[in-house]
Structure 1
Amino acid sequence: MDWARFAQQMAAMARDLLAQDSVNATLERITASATELVEGCDAAGILILHGTRVESLAPTEPLVTDSDTLQQQTGEGPCFDAARSAQGDHVLRIADLTTEHRRWPAYAPRAHALGVGSMMGFLLFTDDEDLGALNLYSRKPGAFTPDSETAGWLLASHAAVAFSAARTHAQMEQAVATRHVIGEAMGIIMGSHRLSEEEAFSVLRRYSQANNIKLRDVALRVCERGALS
């Protein structure tokens, strides 16, 4: 492993990740980087657990989505274990999936039939509800070496920071857009009913609570129709 060259590639990737204009673009760059930078990696993807529901993001090949779907169906697998890990530096390296029938009896034989030979999974992020892992696949058993594991861990560490920054930026953009829509809706109500700013906001809030509709969606309805009815 040429670590000097790898360091240069990682630096370029880190700059590239921060330059992406959306969360999806950031995730796609992360998984593409895994196939480019980690020796033995044929495919990569990000698995998100929403409770017991699986979401497969930025897969580089259908093999990734098929594996994620299989893990949801069986309720087990290495990506689940990596995502559920409480330690940010945790990694699961599966040298040969054919030897893992005891650990994942439902998943392992069916994943091998899909063409998975070996795997690695890295915890990507955690929050109150969702868990995620960066997962690397090879069609060959024994494809991932200790150097591959170190490279994958470094990539996952950079990816976690970039992913968090992209999500924060997206949330801020959404918050700004929401405030704008609510302000526009309040202006419409104030003009139509000669209400104060506080009274107009109370109208939106009461309608939201009474109808169990998000405040932003209520505001959008006003902006589109000119009224709540």
Structure 2
Amino acid sequence: MDHSDHAGAPDAPLGRPEPANTQETADAFARLAVELHDADGVVETVEAVAQFALQALNCSYAGIALNSRGARPEIAAVTDPVVAEVFEMQLASETGPLVTALRDRASVQIRDTSTEERWPEWAAKVAALGVRSVLDVPLVAGSQRTRTVGVLGLYSPNPDAFGADDEAIAYILARHASVAVATARHEASMAQAVDARKLVGQAMGILMERFAIDGDRAFAILKRYSQDTNTKLRDVAQQLIDTRRLPSG
């Protein structure tokens, strides 16, 4: 992370005040922690983080992109449509500061998109959208911080908008977000697993009643149909419950 000296940072936009001191910053993060704890899922979690960024940092726009298993990262939350455009251009071309932050698990800062030389084509398009300063901070999870959950993107229409204090606060916010997103995903996965077990149990009951077989045999039938049709076990169970028929094929 670059902690170079910063001078002449513009004031935060009206309606988006920066915390005036350390105590206010701590209080703000305490409120965020409570809000993230009360969030119902991943969507609510990332939206809370993005909105908090507008209050705690010298940015006009914020957004979060999350890694997806077996797919390109997804745009999870944006505070303005311009952020979705900034994200989409990078995800489509697989290049840019966001992609670099995801890959390298390191923050990337662009002090002025009008003079940026690492990604000149992307930077010119972003500057045309009215975005001059960019700060992308990775959301890193795991015991050794070896897994990138996503990236928090911060944007300002002013050049050289993000100083050392902004970077430090953004890093703390990213740590909060990393834990919250990982927790929300785990809870969602557990809930889905419980739901799948319930579906399979219902389907097994249908087979046991229809064919007068025991539970082991009913589960074996569902598993065989799942393998033969290359369909997830829960989907086989759901089809049997909905149609009272097993999938063909």
TM-score (norm 1): 0.92
Residues 129, 18 of structure 1: alpha-carbon distance in 2 compared, 3 angstrom cutoff: closer
Q: 1:28 aligns with which of 47, 57, 79?
A: 47
Q: 2:126 aligns with which of 111, 114, 130?
A: 111
Range with greater deviation from structure 2 (188-197 or 122-131): 122-131
The 2-side partners of 1:67 and 1:49 are apart by: 17
The 2-side partners of 1:52 and 1:11 are apart by: 34
> Counterpart in 2 of 1:14?
33
> Counterpart in 1 of 2:81?
62
In structure 1, runs of 5+ residues without a counterpart are none
Deviations 1:143-199 (A, max 9, x none): 111111111111111111111111111111111001000000000011011111010
In structure 2, runs of 5+ residues without a counterpart are 1-19
SS of equivalent residue, structure 1 residue 96: coil
SS of equivalent residue, structure 1 residue 141: coil
Matches within 5 A, 1:110-189: 110-125=125-140, 131-189=149-207
SS of equivalent residue, structure 1 residue 48: strand
> Counterpart in 1 of 2:243?
225
Greater helix share, 1 or 2? 1
2:99 is equivalent to residue 83 of structure 1: no
SS of equivalent residue, structure 1 residue 142: coil
SS of equivalent residue, structure 2 residue 173: helix
SS of equivalent residue, structure 1 residue 222: helix
SS of equivalent residue, structure 2 residue 120: coil
Structure 1 contact 48–83 (Cα < 8 Å) conserved = no
State, as a whole percentage, how many aligned pairs show the same letter: 38
Deviations 1:100-148 (A, max 9, x none): 1x20122111111112110111111368997511111111111111111
Q: 2:93 aligns with which of 65, 69, 74?
A: 74
Residues 172, 54 of structure 1: alpha-carbon distance in 2 compared, 3 angstrom cutoff: closer
Residues 148, 79 of structure 1: alpha-carbon distance in 2 compared, 3 angstrom cutoff: same
Residues 107, 52 of structure 1: alpha-carbon distance in 2 compared, 3 angstrom cutoff: farther
TM-score (norm 2): 0.85
Structure 2 contact 141–179 (Cα < 8 Å) conserved = no
> 1:3: how far off?
1.4
Deviations 1:31-58 (A, max 9, x none): 11111111x2111111234567341111
2:118 is equivalent to residue 99 of structure 1: no
For 2:40, the aligned partner's letter is D
Structure 1 contact 189–227 (Cα < 8 Å) conserved = no
> Counterpart in 2 of 1:47?
65
Range with greater deviation from structure 2 (134-143 or 47-56): 47-56
> Counterpart in 1 of 2:213?
195
Range with greater deviation from structure 2 (193-202 or 130-139): 130-139
The 2-side partners of 1:220 and 1:73 are apart by: 35
Structure 2 contact 139–148 (Cα < 8 Å) conserved = no
Range with greater deviation from structure 2 (68-77 or 46-55): 46-55
Deviations 1:54-87 (A, max 9, x none): 411111110110001111233211111111124x
Residues 98, 49 of structure 1: alpha-carbon distance in 2 compared, 3 angstrom cutoff: farther
